[in-house]
Amino acid sequence: MTDAPRSPVLCLASASPRRRDLLATIGVAVEVRPVDIDETPRPGEQAEAYVLRLAREKALAGARLSALPVLGSDTAVVCDGEILGKPEGPGHAATLLRALSGRAHEVLTAVAVTGPAGMLDACVATRVEMRELADHEIAAYWATGEPIDKAGGYAIQGLAAVFVERIAGSHSAVVGLPLYETAALLRRQGVPLWNGALPSGPMS
């Protein structure tokens, strides 16, 4: 017997299946309303300010499309203070992964939620250490198709898990959404978790 679909309690202003699936793991049914905003960093904009700005802009854009509380989020891979975007082709992907090979980098994920409490947001930094990558591994990884739309050119929850030696921080944030912080923001906005079994209110 299949459970009946649950009514959405949150609007997700993103087409990311990873964020939708992460919200599903904590029992939050969503309506998906992707938004289109300019994601170009501003001159001199630091990485944390950049991801927070995009998360807020996505949430505000989504709020024009839905009466539900709206969640926007953005993730950036940062190496030597530089934001590494999504690969534009195999050569660019190889450049990104060579920059990350054999060293640590930082993944910043911001989440913003609009609702009755106004605009609430948080930003989480996670340190990721990669082993040395051989050129043939980088080429084979690109051939799988997985890196195409991923910040920094890799997906920690996918095939690239074999490249990651260790992380310090939130694994779910590297995937696309820091669930601990997200849950706290959602409950402050009146959004229940666990398919309604955990009502809204302060985390304790």
The Cβ of residue 20 has, within 10 Å, a number of other Cβ atoms equal to 17
Q: How far apart are CA 193 and CA 201, in angstroms?
A: 10
Catalytic residue status for 74? yes
Q: How far apart are CA 26 and CA 38, in angstroms?
A: 30
In angstroms, the first-to-last Cα distance of the chain is 35
Considering the candidates 3, 38, 74, 149, report the single residue annotated as catalytic.
Answer: 74
Residue 74 phi, psi dihedral angles, 5° rounding: -150, 145
> In sequence order, what are the residues at sequence separation of 6 or more whose Cβ sits closer than 8 angstroms to the Cβ of residue 202?
187, 188
Q: Could you tell me the two tokens for 10?
A: 């949150």
* Residues written for the chain: 204
Catalytic site positions: 74
